[in-house]
């Protein structure tokens, strides 16, 4: 059962990044559909991994829904970063690289802040152990997603450095 869930999540992620080659409107539609499917699958995976008692489930899922709504807003920013990266790849200049890196760091920081915000809420609703189990499952799913994302997007390591601008040449 766990293997089937892992395979379905992997396949879902496998088809996410090729969407970046489509038109913006088609890509947005496909990304939104994929995110909805992923959200449903993620909740199923979390539910199966957590094996909550009926009493804990009644307390856990409302907190999870709030958490997931806030996480979705953060992931909206991540989608924009990935789309911008994909659109500009091959012509990313120093300014683009700086902006994309800072936005990526901001997404990571916001996710950590969100987890810190929700740890006491999950702990209070269920128990600290159940909260820790949830964040461990969440971390593992995030690792799978990030691995797939990293493997599907071309690395800047293969892009030639941008030509020096006249302003940068004068500063040297």
- CA dihedral of residues 102, 105, 107, 110 (deg, nearest 10): -120
Which pLDDT score, from 0 to 100, does residue 101 have? Answer: 92
The encoded tokens of residue 10 equal 């992997």
Which pLDDT score, from 0 to 100, does residue 70 have? Answer: 97
Residues 6+ apart with CB under 8 A from 49: 2, 133, 137
3-state secondary structure of 36: helix
Comparing C-alpha atoms, which of 33, 7, 9 is closest to residue 19? Answer: 33
Which pLDDT score, from 0 to 100, does residue 25 have? Answer: 65
Which pLDDT score, from 0 to 100, does residue 40 have? Answer: 74
* pLDDT tens-digit profile, the chain (172 residues): 454 444 444 444 444 444 445 556 666 776 666 667 677 788 889 999 999 999 999 999 999 999 999 999 999 998 888 888 888 888 889 999 999 999 999 999 999 999 999 999 999 999 999 999 999 999 998 888 888 777 776 666 555 665 555 444 444 4
Cα 41 to Cα 36: distance, rounded to the nearest angstrom: 9
Q: Please give the C-alpha separations between residue 1 and each of 15, 80, 109, in angstroms, as whole numbers.
A: 22, 34, 33
Cα 84 to Cα 107: distance, rounded to the nearest angstrom: 14
Which pLDDT score, from 0 to 100, does residue 136 have? Answer: 95
């Amino acid at each position: 059962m766990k293997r089937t869930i892992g395979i379905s999540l992997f396949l879902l992620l496998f088809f996410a990044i090729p969407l970046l080659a489509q038109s913006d409107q088609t890509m947005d539609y496909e990304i939104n559909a994929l995110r909805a499917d992923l959200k449903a699958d993620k909740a199923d995976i979390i539910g199966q991994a957590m094996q909550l008692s009926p009493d804990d489930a009644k307390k856990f899922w409302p907190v999870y829904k709030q958490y997931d709504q806030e996480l979705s807003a953060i992931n909206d920013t991540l989608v924009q970063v990935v789309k911008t990266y994909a659109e500009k790849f091959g012509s990313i200049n120093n300014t683009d690289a700086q902006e994309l890196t800072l936005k990526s760091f901001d997404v990571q920081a916001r996710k950590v802040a969100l987890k810190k915000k929700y740890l006491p809420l999950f702990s209070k609703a269920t128990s600290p152990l159940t909260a820790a189990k949830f964040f461990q499952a969440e971390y593992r799913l995030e690792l799978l997603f990030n691995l797939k994302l990293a493997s599907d997007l071309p690395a800047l390591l293969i892009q030639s450095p941008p030509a020096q601008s006249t302003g940068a040449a004068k500063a040297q």
